[in-house]
Amino acid sequence: MSENEASEQPEQEPVTDSAEETQDPVAAQLDASVLEDVAAELAEKGPVADAAALQVEVTELQERLLRSQAEMENFRRRTQKESQDAARYQSVPLIRDLLPFMDNLQRAIDAAEQTGDTQNLIEGIKMVSVQLEQVLSSHNAEKIDPAGQSFDPNEHEALSQVPSPDHEPMTVIQVVEAGYRIHERIVRPAKVIVSCAPPEPAPQAEETSE
């Protein structure tokens, strides 16, 4: 080749690395695949994380439910025992109020036995009777003493009827045993004797003249 021909050939451009200027299609495809895998993995972890959190919440709710059930069972047992104790010992306040009067009555009896004074015994018994009425009243027990009132079958129990011209029929003329009520409930009806109309006199036979 002559020098002239060599000088006439164009200069060749320098070869540059294509990886620096353009992305290899194979590498781009690999990067997209990696991104897809990562996205899929993240998508899988999301529901798993939500399910784990939900499971924790369910476990906590189950524990709270078990604690509530245990507390309710303890409350039921406690209230049942309190109810049983209340029914078993409901008469304790009344007995406590009655015991001092039993003591007073026994003292009056002992004193009468030692001195032979029955009058003091009678006075002591009367005092105890008054105190007992006060105790019953403090426990809302109201005495039913219907002497002179009309007979009421809801509160009175008639033992007998006695003819009486001085009283209207079915009037209580004697109280054998006083009754008691607590509020609207009759504890014991009063046992009474009531009046009835006296029998009509028998008509006298007319005298016949001979």
pLDDT digits (tens, 9 = 90+) for 169-209: 999 999 999 999 999 999 999 999 999 988 877 676 555 54
Residues 153-172, mean pLDDT to the nearest whole number? 94
Alpha-carbon span 187 to 181, nearest angstrom: 5
Strand partners, 123: none
Instruction: Specify the pLDDT at position 147.
Output: 94
Q: Is pLDDT above 80 for 40?
A: no
Instruction: Specify the pLDDT at position 191.
Output: 96
Residues 37-52, mean pLDDT to the nearest whole number? 58
Instruction: Specify the pLDDT at position 90.
Output: 86
Instruction: Specify the pLDDT at position 151.
Output: 96
Q: Is pLDDT above 60 for 16?
A: no
Q: Is pLDDT above 70 for 132?
A: yes
**Which of 37-51, 77-91, 183-197 bottoms out in mean pLDDT, i.e. has the lowest?**
37-51
Contacts made by residues 98-107, CB under 8 angstroms, sequence distance 24+: 98/132, 98/135, 100/131, 101/128, 101/131, 101/132, 101/135, 104/128, 104/131
Residues 6+ apart with CB under 8 A from 132: 98, 101
What is the length of the chain?
210
Among left, alpha and beta (phi > 0; psi -120 to 50; other), residue 174 is: beta
Residues 11-35, mean pLDDT to the nearest whole number? 49
Q: Is pLDDT above 70 for 122?
A: yes
Highest mean pLDDT among 12-16, 21-25, 113-117: 113-117
- Regarding predicted confidence, which is higher, 106 or 54? 106
Strand partners, 162: 195
Band (15; pLDDT cuts 50, 70, 90): very low
Alpha-carbon span 27 to 33, nearest angstrom: 10
Q: Beta-strand (E) ranges in the chain?
A: 141-144, 156-163, 172-177, 179-182, 185-188, 190-196
- Regarding predicted confidence, which is higher, 31 or 69? 69
Q: Is pLDDT above 60 for 22?
A: no
One-character DSSP codes across 24-81: -HHHHHHHHHHHHHHHHHHHHHHHHHHHHHHHHHHHHHHHHHHHHHHHHHHHHHHHHH
Instruction: Specify the pLDDT at position 25.
Output: 54
